[in-house]
Amino acid sequence: MEIFLSFLGYVLLGSVWTNRQVSEVYSFVGIGLISLVMIVYIFRHFHGKIQIALLVGLVLRLALLALDYFTNVPILHSGSDTEKFYETAVDNLGVGEDFYLTSYGYLLTKLFELIGPQRLFAQFINVLLGMGTLFYFLKILRLLKVSYKKTLIALWILVLMPQMIIFSGILLRESLIIFLATVSFYYLVEWYLGRNRGALFALVTACGAAVLHSGMLGWVFGIAFIILFYNRQYNRISFSVLRVSLSSAFLIGFVVLLLSQKVFTAYLDPVLNTEGEGISSAAVQYLANSSTGHFAQSSYLTSLNYASVWEVVLFSPLKVLYFLSAPMPWDWRSLVDAIAFALDSTFYLFCLWGIYFKKRKGRKRSKQGTQNFVQIAMVGFWIAVVLYSFGTSTAGTAIRHRANFFPILLVISFVCSISRTKQVVSNQARHLEIDRHESTYCTKHK
């Protein structure tokens, strides 16, 4: 809250002056002041090794921001897309009719209308969002009673994950999407543990992510499915005629609305073997021609054509596998591809291996405990991933899009690693545990 208020106050302060009066000094001062508030927040609310990991995360993200802004060092994902977002927002300041490549372009335009075209400060917002993802990641692990040792390991993985660092420092929407997806998962966990308000907040924040990228509607559908059909009292998925009828009617109406507004058409286009974002034709043309650096020409499965719904179902596993793993070893064209696979793809494969294949003592006896949460969480994950996989056909795009779910998948894999037989939180103490764990984390580990 302190960080958000300091950020909001500084933006409002910048809006007092005209765009010409706001210079880069505004960005430097703002970054310094808000970073100081964040450091104080970390020292006040976290201790020991958790505190060190968060401080390292902040330093790395600020360093990446500086590297991208002040140097010409090539950085993965930073290039045509980031420049186009910035140029579009700046151009909108001087024209009567705005052009928005995506919803993120709209947000940038509104920000620049307040403080002027301060790109450095706009990129710093992504640093704040990246740190916010780390904070909520810790809150989720805390609610699910993951041990301190495993929490620390999971946190270090997320802190040092290359894609998480990059997206927190460059001018792309991914940092905001990842943050909103993580927050929605936090509220889904709250709902699972007994706090009913979590259902509404989970759906609202997931819809916020979907506004930024239509592919995140898969995550919205996944959360809605869990909330509608998971019976918390009996710890299982259950269907009733009334719920199925109402949800089917709502889903059909929702899809018809999306199609009528051309919001979701791009993710049905794979049936016709096309790709896009479901936005304006000019934006689709730009996205088709845009480059993501080395991975711009890393297309995969381009020979697949879908003549029927059954063929879509048949090839779904293959599309999902490539979405989570690309660039595949047999598609490597240089050392860069091998590094991308080692530092990105392997993390997703390792998490899935830990969830589904790793043998553990006591795992069979935990059906009413941690495994219940793992199973319902993965339902939402797979619905979202299947949808995303059909709107993605290059390794670079796959790396960007699957990063939206990495904190979620990492949480699930570490929850699944709890081998002792117990409930995540007992039904009788769910509200008590949520309230008690809202206090300072790891104080005893000073």
Q: How far apart are CA 374 and CA 226, in angstroms?
A: 12
CB 216 within 8 A of CB 210: yes
DSSP per residue, 18-49: -TTT--HHHHHHHHHHHHHHHHHHHHHH--HH
Paired with 299 in beta bridges are 394
Paired with 231 in beta bridges are 236
Ramachandran angles phi, psi of 236, nearest 5°: -160, 160
Token pair listed for 341 = 């696979």
Beta strand residue intervals within 358-426, DSSP E: none
Q: How far apart are CA 154 and CA 159, in angstroms?
A: 9
CA distance from start to end of the chain: 23
In three-state secondary structure terms, 406 is helix
> Quick count: other Cβ atoms within 10 Å of Cβ 337?
20
Q: How far apart are CA 53 and CA 154, in angstroms?
A: 11
Ramachandran angles phi, psi of 306, nearest 5°: -115, 105
* Tens digits of pLDDT across the chain (446 residues): 667 777 777 776 666 665 545 567 888 888 999 999 999 999 999 999 999 999 999 999 999 999 999 998 889 888 888 888 888 888 887 765 666 667 888 889 888 888 888 899 999 999 999 999 999 999 999 999 899 999 999 999 999 999 999 999 999 999 999 999 999 999 999 999 888 889 999 999 999 998 888 888 889 988 988 888 887 777 777 777 777 777 777 777 766 666 665 555 555 554 434 444 333 334 434 444 444 455 545 688 777 776 677 877 888 889 999 999 988 888 888 888 888 899 899 999 999 988 888 655 444 444 445 667 788 888 889 988 988 888 888 888 899 999 999 999 999 998 887 644 344 444 434 443 444 444 445 544 44
Paired with 236 in beta bridges are 231
Q: What pTM, to 2 d.p., does this model score?
A: 0.85
**Burial of residue 384, with CB atoms counted within 10 A of its CB: 0-12 exposed, 13-18 middle, 19 or more buried:** buried
Token pair listed for 188 = 């889904």
